[in-house]
């Protein structure tokens, strides 16, 4: 059996301490409530309801943390891979960037098939030298409707956490946009797609 590190032992002790503190507080609270009228629970610690709820929540979270630590240790001992703990996404391998011009007004264009890795965003930006507004939306009909599309002014950007750039449409709308204005997009790339 693998030896647990000092920090691992400290984490388990902290989780156990929180569980113990919550259990004692719960016991004393129950004892104080059950005391006959006129008595103060004979030395029991009196805690308000909010404090009790906090202690019980701490005990539950401590137990969850202790269980996760144990699962990680068990996986390492059995030669299994350590379970993935969600955190910041790992760095990507590269980037992809495109500039797509508006070729006709009131005609929506779907963005190309471009996977977006989990935890990362697709960045859309109105080209800095654009003359007018580029509209983006979730469908072709929405992209050509100023009440349903997001207006990107020149040099403004917006991020979308979508799985693929093809989920987004853009358009130029008569009276608001200009032909040849450009929507630029960029995203991180992982080897093998998303």
pLDDT tens digits along 124-133: 999 999 999 9
The mean pLDDT value for 147-160 works out to 96
pLDDT (tens digit per residue) in 165-179: 999 999 999 999 999
Of 18-27, 32-41, 49-58, 148-157, which one has max mean pLDDT?
A: 148-157
In whole angstroms, what is the distance from residue 181 CA to residue 44 CA? 74
pLDDT (tens digit per residue) in 75-110: 666 666 655 555 566 788 899 999 999 999 999 999
Q: How many residues does the chain have?
A: 194
Predicted pLDDT at 1? 43
Task: Tell me the whole-structure pTM to 2 decimals.
Answer: 0.55
In whole angstroms, what is the distance from residue 156 CA to residue 116 CA? 20
Tokens of 115: 């996977």
In whole angstroms, what is the distance from residue 164 CA to residue 87 CA? 21
Predicted pLDDT at 42? 55
Tokens of 44: 């029991």
């Amino acid at each position: 059996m693998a030896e647990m590190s000092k920090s691992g032992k400290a984490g388990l002790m902290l989780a156990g301490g929180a569980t113990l503190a919550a259990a004692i507080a719960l016991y004393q609270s129950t004892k104080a409530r059950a005391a006959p009228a006129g008595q103060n629970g004979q030395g029991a610690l009196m805690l308000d309801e909010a404090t009790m709820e906090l202690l019980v929540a701490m005990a539950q979270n401590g137990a969850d943390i202790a269980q996760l630590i144990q699962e990680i240790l068990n996986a390492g001992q059995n030669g299994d891979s350590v379970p993935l703990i969600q955190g910041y996404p790992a760095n990507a391998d590269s980037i992809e960037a495109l500039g797509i011009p508006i070729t006709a007004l009131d005609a929506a264009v779907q963005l190309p098939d471009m996977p977006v890795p989990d935890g990362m965003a697709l960045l859309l930006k109105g080209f800095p030298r654009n003359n007018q507004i580029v509209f983006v939306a979730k469908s072709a009909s929405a992209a050509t409707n100023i009440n349903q599309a997001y207006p990107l002014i020149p040099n403004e950007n917006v991020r979308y956490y979508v799985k693929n750039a093809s989920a987004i449409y853009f358009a130029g709308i008569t009276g608001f946009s200009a032909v040849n204005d450009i929507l630029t997009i960029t995203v991180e790339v992982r080897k093998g797609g998303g």
